[in-house]
A and B are shown apart, each in its own frame.
Chain A
């Protein structure tokens, strides 16, 4: 029919789920918001996500993320219902939306599935770079609003602490809105531009290289300057009389360093700026910046304070390199003891490349951190502290969208999860403002009964699977199967 052809050309799907017969464009939903046009096919739109371990013909697991699977439910495959799309009972003190029983190796398991609304939540961002992003405790801003701060740096990485209840609800409404939006974007794998007071402009995206002042960071340093000397001293030996490894944290000087002495080297009289820590290790040779090794220098010779003719000699070979191998230079002292740039000998060139090869790709990583308290626990059991204790005693497994989480020791259920291990579109928000994230508690059915669980609300996983609004996601096979018990089975736990 010509009409159909025209319609197909426009990418329209006519929904026959009800008499309204909505004509739906691709990527849009009908009047009810329940059905939509997904890639030209009429699709139920409000699924909640289950993960399945899908066996290939040879019995192995189908790899996560393969494109040849349409997300349909695979009959008989082990199924774990996630909290995504399950909705929340907040603020009602009612059983969680789904309490699902399944079996694992003959043991009855129950998973309590909910979407938690977290205003006590934040994000820890690890940015693999030695470049200066800003002073510790400096404000991190998005659209001018403070959304967090620079916190204690880690080895080879700068750390940001973003979000949290004070920015969400303690400041102006705009601060709360922007903070919520920033967290949602970072958790959803979107790039966010931010600025640090007295520091850098950053673009952060989970699992992607950071962009600092417009330059994309490629790799992490192999180690601090001292560590780099420890690793490569032997490979430089005989090809240079002095090696200076420039690093913002610790700059290493080979001939003074323990590693140099071990190779029988003597100090050659080249003194670098900064504060000497131990032999061959110098702090603060320059200001932090985006130059060599995370310092602000672009001319490496500027860190040399003096060259002592008593120890140095004309023809001395000086090799300078940064801790990522991105910058390197080779000099020979002339008769006036001045370093003159010279072609780099090939054996040194090889080691520069090797430093680069040993630097891991620089990434931004985003950990979502939140406290599960209040009525969320009441949705699981009538006696919420028993849930906390059960998690603490490792009887109950906590997951977010099926992804493994780290539960912080001490009181409460404070968890941390790598957002890239969670399924797409796991996060949402409410205008409190607060973030919405899926959370599941899995434990043995008998343990659940013992803690005062809502036993009358328990459904078999097959019943949920037949509800007709499920979207299946293949299980990430490196992660522990979230439906397995934490105790009571000797193997595979």
Chain B
């Protein structure tokens, strides 16, 4: 029955209705891309990104078993450029259980962004892979990025300004409701890091650490949900009821401690943790930018929203 499509549907690319952004999709990879700069440079940039994108899923699938193996000092051994980005981002975290898959979304964003900007003179650009975002910022340019507190919710929890001088080139968000399975109970953990892959793995691991024991947290072995999960029979979160305040604080503090250690070790720039309405910010820019809402203006993500304006929209 699948004779016609031995490898499934091909990658597809589209121009979004605003006429500026591009939408690339292949299997589970779903990218929204925007490059700003002179028209001919932007056009060529998109062509380069597409050429890279066309083969990226196939390359990853070819190494899937290795990519689902735990990262240790000795491996796994990987060939593809994206796969190596994944492993490199995970390597500093290898003392806890982590497989390169923890960085897959961010690494794909980094890889496509690298192809997008190579040799091009752009003002700025981003590749947004389902909320894991890789950034390019030329001198003088900056981004206001909207942060979404829940994966299924199109409302930003706040915005953060990132300029050329900032070390941040990657943003990632993780939580138990997201597409990936989580060992923790965070509604969202948003991480700013030097690359999207580094942000991705850090967000995953911090979200795993936002955890506590409570009867209202329902967990099942990962393989019962996804027989191919890299998490095997580890218990992953499938439902979180409303928790007492003490449990919320305990879980957030546990996650914040992990985030603090990562920030101290230079693995992340900042993190913003959300659980049932409570928040913690960690890292150097957190107080100034992460929790604070900046003026309404350009935003990179489809989701924007400030509390003050939100009220106005709803009345």
What 1/0 mask marks residues of chain B from 214 to 236 whose CB sits below 8 Å from any chain A CB? 00000000001111100000000
Pair B8/A17 contact, Cβ less than 8 Å: yes
Q: A373-B314, A430-B155, A431-B155 are in contact. Are A23 and B228 (CB under 8 A)?
A: yes
Q: Is the beta-carbon distance between B155 and A432 smaller than 8 angstroms?
A: yes
Contacting residue for B179 out of A31, A90, A117, A428, CB 8 A: A31
Q: Is A374 close to B, CB under 8 A?
A: yes
Interface size range on A against B: 35 or more
By a CB distance below 8 angstroms, the chain A residues around B312 are: 374
Interface presence of B297 (CB below 8 A) = no
Q: By the criterion CB–CB under 8 Å, are B27 and A174 in contact?
A: no
Does A18 sit at the interface, judged by CB under 8 A? yes
A174 near B227: Cβ-Cβ < 8 Å: no
What chain B residues lie within 8 Å of A10 (beta carbons)?
227
Contact with B242, one of A118, A119, A177, A430 (Cβ below 8 angstroms): A177
Q: How many residues of B contact A (CB 8 A)?
A: 42
Cβ-based interface call for B9 (8 A): yes
Partner of B305, one of A32, A91, A120: A91
B154 contacts the other chain (Cβ, under 8 Å)?
Answer: yes
- Out of B150, B227, B276, name the residue touching A25 (CB < 8 Å): B227
Q: Which of B9, B64, B154 has the most CB of A within 10 A?
A: B154
With A16-B5, A177-B276 known as contacts, the answer to whether A90 contacts B27 (CB < 8 A) is no
Closest-CB distance, A372 to chain B (whole angstroms):
11
- The answer on a CB contact under 8 Å between B30 and A19 is no
Contact between A18 and B27, CB atoms less than 8 A apart:
yes
Does B309 lie within 8 Å of A178, measured CB to CB? no
Contact with A along B159-200 (1 / 0, CB 8 A): 000000000000000000001000000010000000000000
User: B27–A12 contact, CB under 8 A?
Assistant: no
For B8, give its contact among A19, A23, A91, A176 (CB under 8 Å). A19
| Residues of chain A contacted by B139 (CB below 8 angstroms) | none
Do A430 and B154 touch (CB < 8 A)?
yes
Give chain B residues whose Cβ lies under 8 Å from the Cβ of A374.
Answer: 312-315
Near A by CB (< 8 A), chain B positions 105-160 give 149-150, 152-155
A30 within 8 A of B: yes
Tell whether B58 is near chain A: CB-to-CB under 8 Å: yes
- CB proximity of B306 to chain A, nearest CB, Å: 9
* B310 located at the interface, meaning its Cβ lies under 8 Å from any Cβ of chain A in the complex: yes
A161 at interface by CB-CB < 8 Å: no
Q: Which residues of A contact B226 (CB under 8 A)?
A: 22-25, 28
Against A, the Cβ 8 Å flags (1 = close, 0 = not) of B1-18 are 010010111000000010
User: Which residues in window 92-110 of A have CB below 8 A to B?
Assistant: 92, 94
Q: Does A67 sit within 8 A of B, measured CB to CB?
A: no
Q: How far is the CB of A385 from chain B (nearest CB, A)?
A: 14
Decide yes or no whether A394 CB sits under 8 A from chain B.
no
Q: How far is the CB of B287 from chain A (nearest CB, A)?
A: 21
A295 within 8 A of B: no
| CB of A129 to closest CB in B, whole Å | 28
Number of A-B pairs, beta carbon distance below 8 Å: 105
Contacts of A31 in B (CB 8 A): 27-28, 179
Q: Cα distance A91–B27 when bound, in Å?
A: 28
A375 located at the interface, meaning its Cβ lies under 8 Å from any Cβ of chain B in the complex: yes
Chain B: minimal CB distance from A176 (Å)? 7
Judged by a CB distance under 8 angstroms, whether A173 is at the interface is yes
**C-alpha spacing A118/B314, complex, angstroms:** 7
- Bound CA–CA A280/B307 (angstroms): 60
Chain A binding surface SS class: loop
A143 nearest in chain B by CB position: B242
Q: Which residues of B contact A28 (CB under 8 A)?
A: 225-226
Q: For the complex, what is the distance from the CA of A428 to the CA of B224, rounded to whole Å?
A: 26
Which residues of chain A are near B64, meaning CB under 8 Å? 20
Of B64, B224, B310, B312, chain A has the most CB atoms within 10 Å of the CB of B310
| Min distance, Cβ A452 to any Cβ of chain B, angstroms | 19
Q: Indicate whether B79 reaches chain A with its CB closer than 8 angstroms.
A: no
Contact, CB under 8 Å: B225 / A434: no
Quick one: given A23-B228, A173-B276, A177-B242, are A430 and B153 in contact (CB under 8 Å)? Answer: yes
User: Whole-angstrom distance between the alpha carbons of A120 and B225 in the complex?
Assistant: 37
- Residues 291-315 of B at the A interface (beta carbon under 8 Å): 302, 304-305, 309-315
- How far is B278's CA from A12's CA once the two chains are assembled, in angstroms? 39
CA distance A169 to B308 in the complex (A): 12
Q: B27–A17 contact, CB under 8 A?
A: yes
Report the Cα distance A19→B56, complex, angstroms. 11
| B57 adjacent to chain A (CB < 8 Å) | yes
How far apart are the CA atoms of A20 and B310 in the complex, in Å? 39
B-side contacts of A92, CB under 8 Å:
302
Chain B contacts for A177, CB-based, 8 A:
242, 276-277
Q: Which A residues lie within 8 Å of B30 (CB)? A: 32
Which of B226, B227, B245, B314 has most A Cβ within 10 Å?
B314
Q: Give Cα A28 to B181, complex, Å.
A: 12
Q: Does B73 contact A (CB under 8 A)?
A: no
For A19, the chain B residues whose CB sits under 8 A away are: 7-8, 27, 57-58, 61
Within 8 Å CB of A120, what residues of B? 314-315
Q: Give me 13 A-to-B residue pairs in the complex whose CB atoms sit less than 8 angstroms apart, sorted by A's number.
A: A18-B27, A25-B226, A28-B226, A32-B30, A88-B154, A90-B154, A91-B154, A92-B302, A117-B314, A143-B242, A173-B277, A173-B278, A430-B154
Chain A positions near chain B (C-beta within 8 angstroms):
10, 12, 16-25, 28, 30-33, 88, 90-92, 94, 117-120, 143, 169, 173-174, 176-178, 181, 373-375, 428-432, 434
